[in-house]
A and B are shown apart, each in its own frame.
Chain A
Amino acid sequence: MTDMAIETSALAKTYGSKQALEALSLEVPRGEIFGLLGHNGAGKTTTVNILTTLLPASSGTARIAGHDVTTGADRVRRSIGYLPENVHFYDNLTLTENLTFFARLSGVPDPAARIAAALEAVDFTGHGQEKMSSFSKGMRQRAGIAQAILHEPAVLFLDEPTSGLDPQGVAKLREIIISLNQSLGMTVFMNTHLLAEVTKTCTSIGILSSGRLIYQNSVAATLGAFPDQASLEDIYLHIEAGTPS
């Protein structure tokens, strides 16, 4: 078994004449909480869509937990959990009904037990019988993480998980992500704009700029390498500014 949870090599994606992703080569070791940073349109969501098998790459290769996203897509899907940027559910069903459906689609043999465990992991027990239409954004995000971990995936993909949450919601979600990583050993790959959150949550980062990976390192090494910059936000802007577009 490879030590890398995520490996990409010269991964590229074009939409017509637009190059959304350009020769992305990336390695994320197992057990990391990796934050992919970048401006709007940098290619972060395209990257996640390719890695979660939602979108075919134009060229290059990607492997998740050792499985190729093209030739081993089924095995990749068994290995990943995915929280889209704006997670949605079937609003006319209860949370438990939604989770049961997604658990069964993931081949979970005993959905009830896994749902209970997943809701406990996101500190959300007691809401199972509520209709999704009554949920706030923060509650939906926690329900979204619960659906993503139902089948105990090795790698969790979170697309802008804290987007639109209030400070309490952000703090709660951070606590959940760190707990999933430390208690259950899940590798977490997250796209985010909130650089302050990256410092508190991630163990390593990559920076995408106009479809190209321009930086990758651990958070600790990054903070140490730029002693003249006050924060990760300053470091990010400094790195971005040094990149010809």
Chain B
Amino acid sequence: MSPWAAAVGHELRSAGRERLPQLLLMIFIGMSAASAFIGSAAKATVTEVYNSAAGQGLTNAANPFGNVPPLYYARNTVIYILLIGALLAIVIGVQSAMRDRRARTIDLVLTRLLSPAGYLGAKMTGIGLGLLAVLGASALISVVCISAVTGSIPAPDQLLRLLALFGVAWLFLLFFVALGTLSGLHASSYTTALLVPIVIWSVIIFVLPLLGTAAHPVSLLNPVTPPAAPLTGIFALTGSLTGPLSLGEQFKHVAAILLKDPQATGTMTGGITVILAFLAAGISAVVLTGRTSMRKELHD
């Protein structure tokens, strides 16, 4: 086994033994499983209200939930990825960087054959593989739950779209892993290491979209429908500046197209480009961390 592969394996083993990521992981997978049933309950409630209204002759329009595609039931997963998944990714990244600093083993690592970039790259690869397994399990659970709710297995093209959603989620979450790792490598204490990326996450997910759309904050928790961007005025200007940086909105837009949301327009290219650009910047910043920064002592 090469030193690089050893570092990847070590990362997977160590991360698997930590409590906090395990807890968040359980919540994330649980919520992914619940997503289809929440969608099913929403459909049942709306249909019941519709039937009642239609029975009283209040409407003769078609039931808006009468013919929802199976992918509809995965909509809530997008928000869990955005909220719980991103927080999970940050915690995993911080814990990974802090593990060496807390254990004070970095000098033993750096006097061996892997360069700092090689070692940090191996750590990111290990986490990436772990995250891939988590998202793979979530995807499987989603398919099982959607099948249970709809009574049939989604068609192959729908399965592919679902897999693509989790693939994009992997890229999206890896950026937050990199953000957490970077903070863990440079922060002077564990608390700061956790706090900084969470503040950045809240800015990316909530503040930037608000600056760009003046949207009501709650609307940002709408699974896939993007907030309407104003065409004139100050928010049109800020929107053009902050829009590309609103990683969460870009992810939601890509997810909306993948899940065939009827309100989603345009293509995925821009959103995926932004996600990849964030990811490339995050990973580059991690692997370019120098020997001196890695050896910095922790103050708690």
Contact = CB atoms under 8 A, between A and B. Distances in A.
Contacts of A147: 108
Contact of A54 (B7, B103, B110): B110
Interface string B87-121: 00000000000010001110111111110000000
B296 interface: no
A78 B14 contact: no
Interface stretch (A89-97, A164-172, A183-191): A89-97
Interface in B10-37: 10, 13-14, 17
A107 B291 CA distance: 20
How many residues of A sit at the interface, in one of the four size bands?
A: 20 to 34
A104 B109 CA distance: 11
A236 interface: no
A80 interface: yes
Contacts of A127: none
B22 to A, nearest CB: 13
A74 B295 contact: no
Given A86-B104, A89-B105, A52 B6 contact: no
A90 B103 contact: yes
A65 B108 CA distance: 19
Contacts of A82: 107-108, 111
A92 B7 CA distance: 16
Given A77-B111, A92-B14, A101 B104 contact: no
B118 to A, nearest CB: 10
Nearest to A78: B113
B114 A54 contact: no
B145 to A, nearest CB: 34
Contacts of A93: 13-14
B3 interface: yes
B111 A53 contact: yes
Given A88-B104, A90-B14, A104 B1 contact: yes
Contacts of B103: 88-91
A222 interface: no
Contacts of A77: 111-113
A147 to B, nearest CB: 6
A102 B112 contact: yes
- The 10 lowest CB-CB distance pairs between A and B, nearest first, are A104-B6, A88-B104, A105-B112, A82-B111, A105-B3, A101-B10, A52-B111, A106-B112, A90-B103, A84-B107
5 contacts: A88-B104, A90-B105, A93-B14, A104-B5, A104-B6
Given A92-B17, A105-B113, A107-B2, 10 more contacts: A52-B111, A53-B111, A77-B112, A90-B105, A97-B13, A101-B6, A102-B109, A102-B112, A104-B5, A105-B3
